[in-house]
């Protein structure tokens, strides 16, 4: 009989499932995390879980907060389980370790209790507010400007005591702390984008300035926004995968997480009110995270984008199956060695040749079964950050960027044609950048993508050789499909 997760069952978990190594009753929340999804629960929460086993760290529990209507089923699951959930880590050989994570000792679903969320964020016990809100969630447009016209932002500026969006809650709580003469919390982004702390700072300052110039000046002067590089492949847990995980662990868990055994976090140390001793448990604390995030985003996230659209259009649906395909494996290895990797250097704790080799091994992990449609999601938000920098470096140095021309031709086909090489249709999911993607569809022309400065910058359209390569691949994909096109590529 499976064990239903709750505080009352922690002393009788199934054999092989690791329980929290501390008494949850002894833990107090010092971190509020907005955006409790699978990645947060497998990454920041796992590092914090390790810290809470140290008796001097019990002030660093997590208050979890979700904001979106589609989070309601997860909110109900976590509430019913006292904030507990399981994380199952798989290594590339199929070895499994399962933990029940107790770090989230308090949970709030903002649509049902916005005033309660504001009260808790304004409380002096909260020293860090962390975020996983996706790349597009920062509402920074292609010009680096915060989108004050976004629907939730407009609402929150008009209704400061009844916010719906992340910046309404953060800035509203900071405003309360300022009025009370309290020190502000640190805002810590855990999202996969360059200079994530700087992006959070830009968004918060722009939102605050729209409310009060004095408030914005105080936030600019007093609030810290450390940058971080985060990494752990954590696919979405489908209902089928949930059932598989529960069958394997013997738990009745409505919110299990599956992830790889690899985990990495590089973090700038800017926490005036303190932080957990994450460095005791594997976090690399540095003065400047920029070179680490540049390497990770160009290599891992860039490789995910390079794989996504071609592999999906060819008929593959799982990342591990696609990367095990010799055609795609060679293509990705060439991208890492000849395109993305040549502009980077090894760093302490991140030696490039080893990192690239491990990266392909991670992608091939069959136990993770990451889905290609997850990688295809929101390409309009991802391509500018994950592909454009490597493309620019190639073009600026006279490199042919042939593989990137092919990738962009596949992206154009994915967006404008809407069916794969076998005729199967699929939904186009661009929740954060449809305003950039819709013009590509409406144009009926592959040149619309190359001409989009917002997506690719100005260099591709100005490079006649790159345009020629790209248009050649557009025609080749339409005529021959992905596999034959790749077989004739010089990878």
pLDDT exceeds 80 at position 142: no
Last residue of a domain, one of 242, 259, 286: 286
Kindly report the pTM of this predicted structure.
Answer: 0.87
Instruction: Tell me the pLDDT band of 285, cut-offs 50, 70 and 90.
Output: very high
Range of the domain at 243: 3-286
Instruction: Tell me the pLDDT band of 135, cut-offs 50, 70 and 90.
Output: confident
Domain tally, the chain: 2
Residue 31 main-chain phi, psi, to 5 deg: -120, 135
Averaged confidence pLDDT in the chain: 96
**pLDDT one-digit tens code per residue, 21-55:** 999 999 999 999 999 999 999 999 999 999 999 99
Q: Averaged over 168-172, what is the pLDDT?
A: 98
**pLDDT one-digit tens code per residue, 375-397:** 999 999 999 999 999 999 999 99
Are residues 261 and 401 located together in one domain of the fold? no
pLDDT exceeds 90 at position 260: yes
- Phi and psi based region of residue 398 (left: phi greater than 0; alpha: psi -120 to 50; beta: remaining): left
Q: Averaged over 92-120, what is the pLDDT?
A: 97
Are residues 305 and 251 located together in one domain of the fold? no
Are residues 81 and 166 located together in one domain of the fold? yes
Q: Where do runs of H (alpha helix) occur along 280-425?
A: 290-296, 302-314, 319-324, 326-334, 352-363, 372-376, 379-386, 388-396, 402-417
Instruction: Tell me the pLDDT band of 194, cut-offs 50, 70 and 90.
Output: confident
- Residue 406 sits in a domain whose CATH number is 1.10.1040.10
**pLDDT one-digit tens code per residue, 333-368:** 999 999 999 989 999 989 999 999 999 999 999 988
Are residues 151 and 233 located together in one domain of the fold? yes
Q: What confidence score (pLDDT) does residue 354 get?
A: 94
Are residues 145 and 201 located together in one domain of the fold? yes
Give Cα 416 distance to the centre of its chain: 26
Instruction: Tell me the pLDDT band of 182, cut-offs 50, 70 and 90.
Output: very high
Instruction: Tell me the pLDDT band of 162, cut-offs 50, 70 and 90.
Output: very high
What percent of the chain is modeled with pLDDT above 70?
Answer: 100
- Enter the tokens of residue 233: 């492949």
Instruction: Tell me the pLDDT band of 369, cut-offs 50, 70 and 90.
Output: confident
- Enter the tokens of residue 154: 């407009």
**pLDDT one-digit tens code per residue, 223-249:** 999 999 999 999 989 999 999 999 999
Q: What confidence score (pLDDT) does residue 490 get?
A: 78
Q: What confidence score (pLDDT) does residue 141 get?
A: 83
Last residue of a domain, one of 265, 286, 307: 286
Q: Given the structure tokens 């729209």, which residue do they identify? A: 210
pLDDT exceeds 90 at position 136: no
- Residue 67 sits in a domain whose CATH number is 3.40.50.720
């Amino acid at each position: 009989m499976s064990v239903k997760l709750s505080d009352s069952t922690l002393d009788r978990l199934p054999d092989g499932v690791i329980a929290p190594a501390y008494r949850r009753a002894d833990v107090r929340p010092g971190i509020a995390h907005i955006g409790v999804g699978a990645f947060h629960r497998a990454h920041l929460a796992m590092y914090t879980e390790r810290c809470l086993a140290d008796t001097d760290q019990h002030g660093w529990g997590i208050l979890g907060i979700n904001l979106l209507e589609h989070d309601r089923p997860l909110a109900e699951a976590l509430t019913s389980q006292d904030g507990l959930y399981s994380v199952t880590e798989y290594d590339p050989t199929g070895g499994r370790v399962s933990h029940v994570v107790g770090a989230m000792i308090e949970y709030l679903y903002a649509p049902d209790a916005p005033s309660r969320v504001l009260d808790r964020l304004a409380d002096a016990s909260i020293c860090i507010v962390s975020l996983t809100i996706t790349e597009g969630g920062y509402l920074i447009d292609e010009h680096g400007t915060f989108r004050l016209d976004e629907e939730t932002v407009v609402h929150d500026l008009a209704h400061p005591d009844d916010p719906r969006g992340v910046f309404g809650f953060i800035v509203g709580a900071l405003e309360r702390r300022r009025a009370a003469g309290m020190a502000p919390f640190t805002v810590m982004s855990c999202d996969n984008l360059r200079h994530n702390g700087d992006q959070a700072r830009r968004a918060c300052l722009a939102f605050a300035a729209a409310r009060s110039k004095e408030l914005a000046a105080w936030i600019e002067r007093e609030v810290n926004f450390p940058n971080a590089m985060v990494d752990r492949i954590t696919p979405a847990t489908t209902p089928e995968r949930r059932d598989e995980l529960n069958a394997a662990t013997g738990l009745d868990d409505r919110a299990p997480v599956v992830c790889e055994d690899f985990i990495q976090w590089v973090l700038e140390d800017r926490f005036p009110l303190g932080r957990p001793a994450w460095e005791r448990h594997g976090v690399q604390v540095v003065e400047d995270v920029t070179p680490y995030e540049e390497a990770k985003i160009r290599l891992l996230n860039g490789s995910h984008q390079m794989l996504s659209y071609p592999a999906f259009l060819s008929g593959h649906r799982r990342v591990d199956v696609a990367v095990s395909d010799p055609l795609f494996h060679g293509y990705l290895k060439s991208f890492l060695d000849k395109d993305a990797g040549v502009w980077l250097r090894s760093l302490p704790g991140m030696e490039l040749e080893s990192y690239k080799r491990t990266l392909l091994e991670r992608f091939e992990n069959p136990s993770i079964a990451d889905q290609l449609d997850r990688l295809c999601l929101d390409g309009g938000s991802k391509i500018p950050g994950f592909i454009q920098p490597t493309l620019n470096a190639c073009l600026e140095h006279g490199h042919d960027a042939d593989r990137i021309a092919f990738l962009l031709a596949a992206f154009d086909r994915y967006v404008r044609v809407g069916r794969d090489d076998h005729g199967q249709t699929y939904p186009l999911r661009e929740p954060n950048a449809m305003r950039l993607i819709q013009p590509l569809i409406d144009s009926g022309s592959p040149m619309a993508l190359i001409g989009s400065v917002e997506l690719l910058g100005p260099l591709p359209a100005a490079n006649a050789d790159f345009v020629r390569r790209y248009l050649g691949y557009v025609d080749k994909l339409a005529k021959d499909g992905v596999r034959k096109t790749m077989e004739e590529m010089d990878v």
